[in-house]
Structures are given as C-alpha cells and as structure tokens.
Amino acid sequence: MTLAEAETAAARPGLPRRRRWLVWALLTVGLAGVALAIIAAVASRYQPIGNGEDLSFAFPGLPAGKGFRAVNNLGGFHQDIYVPPQRGTFALVATIMNNGTHPVTIVSASPPQGSGLWPAGTIRYSTPGMGGSNQIPPPTSRVLRNVVLAPGQEMFIGFPMKMWPCAPPGGWQGIPTFTVVTRYLFFTHTVDLPWFIFDDSVIMRIPGGKPGHKSVICAPGTTLANLPKAALRNPGPSRRLALPSASTQAMTPANFALSRGLRRTPP
C-alpha cells in the first residue's frame, strides 16, 4: 500500500460524521422554515377587531349632529341611526375593540364613500382613561394614525363629516359600514364594520334639492346663500331603503342603552 492510499484509508472514517452534521444542519433549517411559514400563515389571518360595547353620540372636539334618532328598533334586537339633513360639520361616532390575544395597530379609519357624506377634517380617536378621566367617551382626543390597541381595549373613532343640507321626500339610503385598516406584524387587513354591535346602519335621505323647492326638506337655517360650495355628491354604492319604520324615538345614550342593556355615556 502506498503512502497516498494509506492516507485516504485513514480519512474515510471521518466522512460519515461530516455527512451526519450536514444532514442535521439541513434538517434544522428545514424545520425552522416550516415553523416560520406556519407562524406567517397564522399571523396573516389574525384580525381581532370588532365593534365596541360602549355607546356615544358625541365626540370630544367635534360638533355633535342635530336630530339623530333611533329607527327600525322594534323589539330591541336591531336599531339604525337616522341622520336628518345637517348644515355644517358634524360627528359620526363609532367604537371598535380588540377581541384578540395580541396587540394590533390601527393604521387608519375611513368614513363611507359615495354616500352623500364627505370628510370635513382629520379623523380622531379617544380611548377610555385618556386624559386621566373615566368619562365615556373621554374628554380628549387625538389624531388617528398608527395607534396600538391592546387586547380587550376599546377605541372611540370620531369622523368629522359634511352633507348636502337638503333632501327631497321619499328617497332613503342605508350606510351599513365604515372601514378600519389594521396591522399585525408585517400584515395589514382592511375591515368593514357596522356602526354598532347589532349591525346598525346609518340611515339618511338621499340628498338633493335646494331651499324653496317643492317638498324639499332642509336643515334648519339653510338658505341659498349658505349652501355648501362643494358639488352635490352622487349617493353611489349605498343601500337604497324604504321609509324607516314608525317605531322611532329621540336618539339619546340613555334610551338606546336601556333598550340594549348596554353601558351608556354619563349625562
């Protein structure tokens, strides 16, 4: 046996050991890849945002709407919010809650599009305890942008809105949802939510007409001189409705909460 052959024979016992190390390394990398894929798949579907439990029709820093009423509320199992023609800026208020086990980031929220309503300012939020107060909703608010919502935490969202202040009789539309964009890890979700936990819609007359036109209903104080400068918006993809039921009452936190067994805004 030559010297070269002897050296080769001496080296052979080490080959299986190196191969075993390589196999274990590849197996570890493969298992880690599978685990990351599973985690990514679960995270990509994680969307824990739903409607909140508290009710409010006022929002800190935004003008309150006038004449809001509860309609279609026979039996207390459902209720819609009637918004009559409004003049000037008013607030639509929604609540959301993180019903999951991990924090999520509320990237943004947006009001309904193409409904005869249009934004009139920056969307704001408020959370219980903000400003050191137990008031519901809290007396202070901030601009909504990339806010982390902890598990079980509730958030009030205030949408400053405007609308055409007049409407002809007979035409109704329902605005069933608003939109929230959430982020968890590297994944984002766009979620359409009803205005409250019982699939409540905002109901309004289809906008149109001007003061002085026959049978046209306008917000108090509306004149030809103070009509909005913005062009009348097409109602677009909202839901056309028949006349709301006669079962209506003044929209106040007290009577709404009592009919649903909910917490209500303190007077």
Q: Does 82 share its domain with 27?
A: no
Asked if residue 105 has pLDDT above 90, the reply is yes
Query: The dihedral of CA 192, 195, 162, 182: what is its sign?
Result: negative
- The answer to whether residues 59 and 40 belong to one domain is no
Q: Is residue 6 part of a domain?
A: no
Same domain, yes or no, for 167 and 221? yes
Share of the chain above pLDDT 70, in %: 69
Is residue 61 included in any domain, yes or no?
Answer: yes
- pLDDT above 90 for 147: yes
pTM: 0.73
Residues 53, 263: Cα–Cα separation, whole Å: 7
User: Is the same domain home to 78 and 125?
Assistant: yes
pLDDT for position 237: 43
pLDDT given at position 128:
85
Mean pLDDT in residue range 165-193:
90
Look at 74-83, 91-100, 143-152, 203-212 and tell me which has the smallest mean pLDDT: 74-83
Based on the fold, state whether residues 253 and 167 are members of the same structural domain. yes
Residue 155 lies in a domain: yes
Task: Based on the fold, state whether residues 86 and 170 are members of the same structural domain.
Answer: yes
- Domain membership of residue 205 (yes or no) is yes
Whether 58 maps to a domain, the answer reads yes
Asked if 20 and 136 sit in the same domain, the reply is no
87 and 20 assigned to the same domain? no
- State the pLDDT confidence band at 250, using cuts at 50, 70 and 90: very low
Q: Are residues 188 and 205 in the same domain?
A: yes
pLDDT recorded at residue 36 = 57
| pLDDT tens digit sequence for 64-75 | 889 888 788 777
Q: Is residue 95 part of a domain?
A: yes
Domain co-membership, 34 together with 59: no
> Does residue 25 register a pLDDT over 80?
no
Mean pLDDT of 158-175: 90
pLDDT category, 233, cuts 50, 70, 90?
low
Q: What is the pLDDT of residue 259?
A: 38
Confirm whether 8 is domain-assigned: no
Q: 96 and 30, same structural domain?
A: no
**pLDDT value for 137:** 75
Range of the domain at 224: 49-260
Count structural domains, the chain.
2
Q: What is the mean pLDDT of residues 185-203?
A: 87
Question: Looking at residue 159, what is its pLDDT?
Answer: 94
Residue 267 lies in a domain: no
Same domain, 249 and 160: yes
